[in-house]
Amino acid sequence: MYRRKLKHSRVKNLHKFASQKNKSTCLVESSLEFDACFHFEFSPLIAAFEAQPLGYEYEFDNRTCRYTPDFLLTHTDGTQKFIEVKPQSKIADEDFRTRFIEKHAIAKQDGRDLILVTDKQIRVYPTLNNLKLLHRYSGFQCLTELQASVLELVKQYGSIKVGQLVNFLKVTAGELLATVLRLLSLGQLFADLTTNEISIETAIWSNNV
């Protein structure tokens, strides 16, 4: 096992992802890996994720090769998976496919799966845009009076549109939307992130529903 260190270069731009879930910053080497972090950050099934985890060796073409997965996911049930992030356009390459089979076999020997994830699964819209929006509001820590009022109303009504809360609480749509985004990022409210961009027409609910 070994750990690979990422370094800036003329041909590769590194990306930093600030994770509230991990309480740390992830350094990744592609914009696609960066976008994958948003899915990991807000998945209720993932307890933690690590970029560039400990690597391992595998055999290929009578040679010993080194490999570092892009991510190690730790799920809430304690299981772990390695993730390889790759553009869809590159996975048909025969060399890549043969190497991936060998990498997967070694990972399985260690009790972990190696999963291939492509841009087709990561760059899904409007889901990715909504996750990025939530991430912008994930840094604030204190629960405000307005946030508490929103939680109480949602609990009372079960499911309610953001625009209805604007009328109830007599605040601006922008202020209310920012409040809802913060609560969504905390996991205290829920919404359908896969169908439409988050707006005042979005229905929200709590885990008490």
Taking 70 as the threshold, does the pLDDT of residue 171 lie above it?
Answer: yes
Nearest to 84 by CA among 60, 67, 98, 64: 67
pLDDT of residue 74: 98
Q: What are the sequence ranges of the domains in the chain?
A: 15-122, 127-205
Is there a shared CATH topology between the 15-122 domain and the 127-205 domain? no
Q: What is the pLDDT of residues 2-45, one digit of tens each?
A: 566 655 555 568 999 999 999 999 999 999 999 999 999 999 99
pTM of the model: 0.88
Q: Does domain 127-205 have CATH number 1.10.10?
A: yes
Q: What is the pLDDT of residues 34-70, one digit of tens each?
A: 999 999 999 999 999 999 999 999 999 999 999 999 9
Residue range 15-122 forms a domain whose CATH class is alpha beta
Nearest to 20 by CA among 34, 37, 45, 33: 37
